[in-house]
Amino acid sequence: MISALVHCFRLARVGFVLAREGALSLTDVAPLPPAMRLMISLGRTVERRGARESGSRLAAAMTRLGPSYVKFGQFLATRPDVVGVRAAADLESLQDRLPPFPREEAVRTIEESFDVPIERLFSDFGPALAAASIAQVHRARIGEGEGALTVAVKVLRPGVRERFARDLASMRFAAAMAERLFPSMRRLRPIEVVETLARSVAMEMDLRLEAAALSELGENTRDDVDFRVPQVKWDLTARDVMTSEWVDGTPLSDMAALVAAGHDRVVLARTIIQSFLRQALRDGFFHADMHPGNLFVDPEGRLVAVDCGIMGRLGHKERRFLAEILLGFITRNYRRVAEVHFEAGYVPRHHSIADFAQAIRAIGEPIHDRRADEISMAKLLTLLFEITALFDMNTRTELVMLQKTMVVVEGVARSLDPRLDMWSTADPVVRQWIERNLGPVGRLEEAGRGALSIAGFAGHLPSILNRGERIVEQLEIAGERGFLLAPESVADIGRAEARRARWGNLALWAIAAILAAMWLGG
């Protein structure tokens, strides 16, 4: 009971901040239950003056709510299927920048992680250079004299695990109550959304996992002449500390410095697009946070990416799906684009391929009447996902992340070269992957993978048949006698349902009372 009330008060504060910043005005109340429409109407009475004219109402609210909600907002920006296109666009402006915590606290975390004084680890350890919701980065040196090495040390923010655990518990409570009290909201799967965020944050808060992602990306791209990532210093990396090579380069966000250093912006724009597509198609493992603050250009002109806290993965099926879609639009083969969706099992079979191809043609044909440098590949994928929603295509989290990353990557590339031709830039990478994976060699490899799968299944066939026989016998017995529940089980179910209904009603009335009090007090 106490924990439920605590969650209610915490969520009431969240609701008040959202209402105050005008974020509730982004909600489409038409499909909502009457009780929720009433609560939103009450909440909108406390909006501060001018909040509705702001272009980033949700972003402002999430920033006020603190680090957990900043991360939650960034996550929801990748899920327009859950929050809607307007809200997702609002959240795209959310910046994960916070004031740094004191250097002394960072030193304490490092010393506790390695159980030695910091002087034995680094000959110099500077102040924080960049701070976010989960960690901040310091510049440090290892060794003395000419052999000294400059490194970047990422340190977890003190107390961040406890803060996120507390806020995630309230988010879980809110998601469970939403599904229980408003069954119509179950289609949005709020519990699953919160759990996905929790898994993502848990990985980000173990810096060893980020170091592993950085290492894997480095191995995948070691032969790329125009892209690299910093090397990890594993002996100075722990759960709360990650040490990597210092990037001595020009930030991609500093256009004047790029020009002054003599870097070719047109070449850099092509490198950004092609590097991202190589990661997504060739490797199936891509940097999913490629904003200008995470990209540098080293003195050799190579693109350097840092901060691998958010990564995306694509399986072979998803990579084939992406490659064939892009090639289909390039060649105007809309029938093939439609067939790929059906072959991947993304669109239910009761729909017509011809009708789906017609809908895709409505997206593809307008782009061929425009100059190549006016065509946005990211916008194309956005429109494609909107069309597929009409044909009951299930949301694919990995594809949504890919599409949102493409939006960022394309924006960065066009800031360097406004006349960038996305199609001629992407074409060699896409065609190379298709020729390698869908040509004769790729077909043989796919057949080999299929043969191994069949052989593995055949090895398990006897045990599968035995389990199937037992299941059939149990079903026959159940069909004759029915499914029986012990009296104790029936009583337990009744008591559990009564408790859920009682606490659900209490929580709903508590939230309504708090909102009403704020309304009357405002």
What positions carry a catalytic annotation? Answer: 289
Determine contact, residues 407/273, Cβ cutoff 8 Å: no
Structure tokens at 342: 């059906």
Determine contact, residues 154/207, Cβ cutoff 8 Å: yes
- What does 302-347 look like in DSSP terms, one character per residue? -EEE---SSEEE--HHHHHHHHHHHHHHHHT-HHHHHHHHHHTT-S
Separation of CA 313 from chain center: 11
Distance of alpha carbon 414 from alpha carbon 273, whole angstroms: 10
Q: Which amino acid is it at 462?
A: P
Phi, psi values for residue 130, rounded to 5°: -150, 140
Q: How many CB atoms lie within 10 A of CB 292?
A: 17
Contact partners, residue 263, CB within 8 Å, separation at least 6: 250, 297, 301
Determine contact, residues 150/248, Cβ cutoff 8 Å: yes
Token pair 């609701």: residue: 15
Provide Rg for the chain, Cα atoms: 27
Q: Which amino acid is it at 339?
A: E
Distance of alpha carbon 335 from alpha carbon 355, whole angstroms: 10
CA angle 473, 479, 484 (to 5 degrees): 100
Structure tokens at 282: 């060739």
The β-bridge partners of 137 are 130, 154
Buried b (16+ CB within 10 A) or exposed e, 311-332: bbebeeebbbbbbbbbbbbbee
Determine contact, residues 382/367, Cβ cutoff 8 Å: no
